[in-house]
Amino acid sequence: MGESRVIFGSRRRRRVVIVLLLIAAALLLAACSGGDPTNLARVVDRAKPQSTLDPKGPNAAKIDDLYLMVIIVAAAVFVLVQGALLVAIFKFRQRKGQERPVRQMHGNMRLELVWTIIPVVILAIIAVPTLSTLFDLRSAPDPSENALQIEVTGHQWWWEFSYPEYGFTTAGELHIPVDRPVYLTMTSADVIHSFWVPPLNGKRDVVPGRISNLLLQADDPGVYTGQCAEFCGLAHADMRIRLFAETPADFESWALAQAQPAVIPTTGPAAAGWETFSTICIACHAVEGTNAQIRIAPDLTHLASRTSFAGATIDNTPENLKAWLHDPSALKPMRPDLNKPSQGRIMGMPNFHLTDQQIDDLIALLETFQ
């Protein structure tokens, strides 16, 4: 009691404490005032669309079941150990400084062997389902299961998805049919990334120079979010994924539409937009059906059909596109001054200082990329 007066005692000190608290409150308020042109509620109807605790497919469900089993065992151990600790503290603490007689116990070999062996047994029991689930989840799908193949490439800082069966490439958002295994074949164009859509499966690193695989399967139609889980530099937080699980019919019509080449308008602002595109954007972006074939930035053939852009970070609206074309780095941190295409390294989209007219024309063009 006496000591606590040391901090709160004098009025001056109390004032210092109040000022410190006010500073803390001001900083907290400042932290709350962020602005981001993303509104996941537009596409997602669940409160926690990225949770591992609400699995939406067989792979994630197996993991969740296993985790639940382990957490129950862990909770039991937690209660026993913390309980013993608390009992010991309350039973054997000195009261009012009264010394208790203490028998000088040095140990008890039998007891110590027991509490060495019991954890070994518990762990050995846990190990069995762990290893069987591990081998189960790591196996490639059987050819008879007719898995959908998707090729995934991680880039700083966006995901590229190719559907070899249908012959098209898209970015940031992938669509899969429900109740059908999806087999991802993944690699990286630059540094290590990690593909992760928690409601459907655990994550898997995507390593340059290596191929890694991951099995996905969704039970129900819905939108699931994910993001890169391995730190990959400046905009790691903005390398996100939106996954649309659809009925087989919906998926089929989406895929067939995506496989269509773009048709470049010949009149109006969109045609003017193509002029700009084919002088500037063409250096990095591909559009199927045209001579834009360089693929070091996202394929834009069907940009207008996506709900988001810039690594699934920004909602795909004309206003956001306009802001993006004005100054990309203002919406998502990037370092385009460090782009080195010769080394395959693209650190983001530069600001081309486009005029308002050029931007409006480009947006008119991009809106035709349905």
Partner 1 sequence: MTTPTHHNPHKGVWSWLTTTDHKRIGLLYGVSALVFFLIGGSEALLIRLQLAAPDGTILSADAYNQMFTMHATTMVFLVIMPAAAAFTNYFLPILIGARDVAFPRLNALSYWIYIFGGLFLTISFFVGGAPDGGWFGYAPLSTQVTEIVRMDYWALGVQILGLASLLSAINFITTIFTMRAPGMTMMRMPVFAWMALVVAFLLLFSLPMIAVGLFEVFLDRNLGTLFFNAAAGGTPLLWQHLFWLFGHPEVYILILPAMGIVSEVLPVFSRKPLFGRSFVIFSGIAIGFMGFGVWAHHMFVAGLGPVAEATFALTTMFIAVPTGVKIFNWIGTIWGGSLRMKTPMLFSLGFIAMFVIGGLSGVTHSIVPADTQQTDTYYIVAHIHYVLFGGAVFGLFSGIYYWWPKVTGKLLSEGLGKLHFWVMFVGFNLAFAPMHILGLEGMPRRTYRYPKGLGFEFWNFISTVGAMTIAVSILVFLINAWRTRTHGEIAGNDPWDGRTLEWTISSPPPEHNFDVVPVVHSEDDFWHRKYTEDADGNAVAIPGGGAPLVAGPDDPPIHLPSPSFYPLLAAFGMFLVVLGLVYVPVGLILAGIGVVTVVWGFFGWSMEPLTREAH
* Site for partner 1, residues 93 to 122, rule: CB under 8 A: 93-94, 99-109, 111-112, 115-116, 119-120
Q: Which two tokens stand for residue 118?
A: 């019991």
CA end-to-end span of the chain: 71
CA 266 to chain centre: 40
Residue 370 sits in the site that holds partner 1 (CB under 8 A): no
Residue 290 sits in the site that holds partner 1 (CB under 8 A): no
Q: How many angstroms separate the CA atoms of 321 and 110, rounded?
A: 72
Q: How many angstroms separate the CA atoms of 332 and 311, rounded?
A: 9
Cis peptide before 196 (omega within 30 of 0): no
Binding mask 26-65 for partner 1 (x = CB under 8 A): -xx-xxxxxxx-xxxx--x--xxxxxxx------x-xx--
Q: Which is nearer to partner 1, 226 or 273 (CB)?
A: 226
Q: Which two tokens stand for residue 346?
A: 């693209």
Tell which residue, 275, 293, 274, has the closest CA to residue 283. Answer: 293
Among 81, 140, 256, 263, binds partner 1 (CB under 8 A): 81
Residue 8 sits in the site that holds partner 1 (CB under 8 A): no
Binding mask 321-350 for partner 1 (x = CB under 8 A): ------------x-x--x-----xx-x---
Q: Which is nearer to partner 1, 42 or 268 (CB)?
A: 42
Q: Which is nearer to partner 1, 234 or 271 (CB)?
A: 234
Tell which residue, 336, 328, 261, has the closest CA to residue 299. Answer: 261
DSSP string, 131-195: HHHHHHHHSPPPGGG-PEEEEEEEETTEEEEEETTTTEEEESEEEEETTS-EEEEEEESSS-EEE
| Piece in contact with partner 1 (CB under 8 A), picked from 167-175, 188-196, 281-289, 362-370 | 188-196
Q: Vertex 332, ends 321 and 195: CA angle to 5°?
A: 105
Alpha helices in 207-332 (DSSP H): 248-258, 268-279, 318-326, 328-331
Among 232, 245, 287, 349, binds partner 1 (CB under 8 A): 232
Residue 127 sits in the site that holds partner 1 (CB under 8 A): yes
Q: How far is the CB of 269 from partner 1 (least distance, A)?
A: 32
Q: Which two tokens stand for residue 90?
A: 């309350």
Residue 230 sits in the site that holds partner 1 (CB under 8 A): yes
| Piece in contact with partner 1 (CB under 8 A), picked from 159-167, 229-237, 258-266, 352-360 | 229-237
Among 141, 237, 278, 280, binds partner 1 (CB under 8 A): 237
Q: Which is nearer to partner 1, 11 or 267 (CB)?
A: 11
Q: Which is nearer to partner 1, 233 or 265 (CB)?
A: 233
Q: How many angstroms separate the CA atoms of 332 and 38, rounded?
A: 11
Q: Which is nearer to partner 1, 173 or 230 (CB)?
A: 230
Among 19, 22, 72, 134, binds partner 1 (CB under 8 A): 134
44: CB partners within 8 A, 6+ apart = 223, 225
Q: Which is nearer to partner 1, 147 or 191 (CB)?
A: 191
Among 151, 180, 205, 265, binds partner 1 (CB under 8 A): 205
19: CB partners within 8 A, 6+ apart = none
Residue 24 sits in the site that holds partner 1 (CB under 8 A): yes
Q: How far is the CB of 75 from partner 1 (least distance, A)?
A: 8
